[in-house]
Amino acid sequence: MTRLLLTSAALIAIAMTGAAKAADLPMPSPVYNAPPPQIVHNWTGCYVGAGGGFGVWNEDANFQAGGVVTTVTSTSGGRGWFGQGQAGCDYQFSLPLGSFWSPNVVIGAFGDYEWTDNSMRGSLTVPGAVSTIGAETMPWTWAAGARAGVLVTPKFLTYFDGGYTQANFSQVNLQLANGAPTVPQTFVGANTYNGWFIGSGFEYSFDFLPGLFFKTEYRYSTYNTANLPVLVSATGAPFGTPGISVNSTKYTQMVSTELVWRFNWFGH
DSSP 128-175: SSS-EEEEEE--EEEEEEEEEEEEEETTEEEEEEEEEEEEEE--EE-E
- Kind and range of the H or E element at 6? helix 2-24
Whether the predicted pLDDT of 220 surpasses 50: yes
pLDDT at res. 6: 45
pLDDT mean over 5-25: 50
Q: Is the C-alpha dihedral spanning 118, 120, 123, 124 positive or negative?
A: negative
pTM of the model: 0.80
Rounded Cα distance between 124 and 131, Å, is: 11
251, 220 contact by CB (below 8 A) = yes
pLDDT in tens, 37-78: 444 568 999 999 999 999 999 999 998 888 899 888 989 899
Mean pLDDT of all residues belonging to the chain? 84
Write down all domains in the chain, each with its CATH number in brackets.
41-262 (2.40.160.20)
Average pLDDT over residues 245-263: 95
Q: For residues 52 and 85, what is the distance between their CA atoms, to the nearest angstrom?
A: 8
Share above pLDDT 70 across residues of the chain, in percent, rounded to a whole number:
81
- Does the structure show a pLDDT above 70 at 31? no
Residue 231 burial (CB count, 10 A): 21
